[in-house]
Structure 1
Amino acid sequence: MTSSSTATPGTPAASAGAGTGRALVVGTIGNFVEWFDWSIYGFFTPYFASQFFPGSGSSAALLTLLVFAISFFMRPVGAAVLGIYADRHGRRHGMTLTILLMAGGSLLLAISPNYATIGWLAPVLLVIGRLLQGFSTGGEFGTSASFLVEWAKPNRRAFAGSFQQVSVSLGILLASLSATVLTQVLDSNQLAAWGWRIPFAIGAVIGLIGMYIRRRMAEPETFKMLERTGRREATPFRSMSAGHRRGAWFVFGISIAGSVITYMWLTYLPTYAVLTVGADKADAQLANTIALAFFVVVLPFAALLSDRFGRRPTMLVYATAFVILPFPLLLTMGGSFGSVLLVSVIGMAFLSLNHSNLATVFAELFPPQVRTIGIAFPYAISNAIFGGTAPNVMQFFGSKGNLWAVPLYVSVCALVTGLFFYFMKETKKVDTDDVEMRA
């Protein structure tokens, strides 16, 4: 059965706009918690690393970053399990489960005793907490992307989908603000002893609130249609693998540059500025926080460009910019607050052309029966390989004194992703309710 493109009462097109505002909150709060925790882990690693591992500060920090990387490799597992669950049982049920697991992981990190108290059980609890979060976030992106796009009006899918990345940026922004505030009001000893636990506890509370909100939201009409017509897929992973490999490869390839550039511009840039040009750490952190606020504001406007001109043109501009600009931007950056802020804002302006499109483009590549697993699994694999290792790659370059390799790495990743955009078909006019659609 193929849905009609003409909106009639009771069809997905007619009801898509109903409750969209609430749907935006429901669909995005999980990503907010995910990226808040992800960023908090990066910002506070220097303070809590020695709480979980013995040895010098540098060795403990490297082990803590290794745990960070390992947790990314749970994402494909979570994507497969939770993606299949959401395609079988519904987006709402899938999102409720993912955010419950996220909150549990955050709470475990917030209350875990340190190495001095329980010895090697401390890093074991750290690993368990991060693996739990990695598993849950593996299913979050695909489920929330499906949910948001299926709730959206057909001519505003990119705008609605962009709020997934708005929530990502807000999560990183709140984490950055938390780091800024806590480093101002607490000294290093207080942060290392107990201060680092505060943001993880906040993440757990927000996650539990999100679970309550999600339990009260209805399914998108698109999924209800699958239920009414008996078109839900019994084996979504097998169906996706057999009939939608091209779409899965595009999700994987598009995610390569996004994973690396997101870490570089949204999290690592203050550290890069300190290491390369001797920027003041507080000034660099403040510049990053202001640029993140700019990014949050500009994302919906970038999405409107996509809804007007198409996904492919806007994403090609993004990829081209990051092939060309990393060297001139990063190698000419000065140590002043204004210079770091300018580099941050320029990068985030172009990055918005990609992030405003991601949820929508991925959802438009798959029919609703396999949409969640189709998005979640290849996205999680790409993020595990490129996003999970990004901190270690940057740390390695810095430890060897080869920070010039950072912009080169970013440019190469952008070039690879740009080739996927070049060969991608425009998806703006795709009927996302069409159960017969093939990527």
Structure 2
Amino acid sequence: MAVTEPTWSPASWRALPAGQQPAWPDAAALAAVRERLRGMPPLVFAGEARKLLHGLGEVAEGRALLLQAGDCVESFREVSPIPIREKLKVLLQMSAVLTFGASLPVVKVGRVAGQFAKPRSADTEIVDGVELPSFRGHTVHSDEADAAARVPDPERIVQGYYQAASTLNLLRAYTKGGFADITQVHTWNKEFVASSSAGQRYEQLADEIGRALAFMQACGIDLAAERSLHEVDVWTSHEGLLLDYEEPLTRKDSLTGDWYACSAHMLWIGERTRELDGAHVEFFSGVHNPIGVKLGPAATADEVVALCERLNPRRLPGRLTLIARMGADRVRELLPPLLRAVRESGIPVVWACDPMHANVFRTASGVKTRRFDDVMREIEGFFAAHRAVGTWPGGVHLEITGEDVTECLGGAEAVLEEQLDHRYETLCDPRLNARQSLDLAFRVAELMRG
């Protein structure tokens, strides 16, 4: 089962160039933070990562779907019960729609409990007419529009650890304590969603689920004994960007002797850090968690196959998820050659569609946004590419929130350009609100059936 090379260690990445790392001003303070993290308990456990690996293996084999969704970048200000519960509600709603609509189990992975850092395309940004260091996430510095607040502070890495631990504690309580019980499917609908067309459609689906459960009970099936109806697994994931955070939280499993990144169940390598000879690929080649890699329009077939060989040399189903982010206008052209090359390599992968990142644009007034129609066009192109090649469209990777924000344009209950400033709350990129997310889930379920 081992994927780790004999010469690999959690620190071997340090011999290679590491992109998108903050310019930490105090190396000694950063080293002290790493030492403190080494003495802290793991956030997740190797056995949990192996269970997710099995679930993603089912996706790779075409027997399940992946729903990976959550914030663009988490905020330290939102690590409290209500925002976490509201995000979970939307994830559970979307999962119910996909499971019922596509008649397949859904592997639920949140962009949660660690998505506190972001890569940036430029080192600086203009905020209120002032040029500042680009915001790179709360584990690096503050989002305040002040030069002193944007200085990287390694103490924030420790704060990120505690914030992730708090979020995980809440997630485990909600998913194992009755909140995620399928008999509570009606209670997941939020008031502002329920009045929308997607919300009304969801209520009809919830009624159908209720009738199906009543039928099962009438047939003598003991629903109370069916644990899978009352508890769910929601796994955590984030971009494994800050290697000074990931390294000290990497631990050797006492059962197998294998290394696991214990900051999350699944981690992914971003489009800007997936160099074969770079530090991120080196680091994640040695841990045994499920790993993802973002693939943008510049990805070539040879590069992708080489990444598959490096990150999944044992050809384990579920080990590697390739997350395509090609853009709505180019996905039908660019994705098929990659699908064919990976299929011919014989390396099993999960293919997921990230329809968010390549479809960002700025309005005339400078507001960063996305069009819901572009998001759907990329998903439709992703499915069309897989059907043309004969491969399995494993799932979607989305930036969403449970709040009634106005950050992305369109959807069944259309957000208009002049409404963007009503509740534009993201720290970085625009997210789908709960209505838009549910609308998308229904459309993806129809694509799965089609």
For Structure 1 versus Structure 2, the TM-score category normalised by the shorter chain is under 0.3
Of structures 1 and 2, the one scoring higher in RCO (CA 8 A, sep 6+) is: 1
Q: How high is the TM-score relative to the length of structure 1? A: 0.26
Q: How high is the TM-score relative to the length of structure 2? A: 0.26
Instruction: Return the structure number with greater strand share.
Output: 2
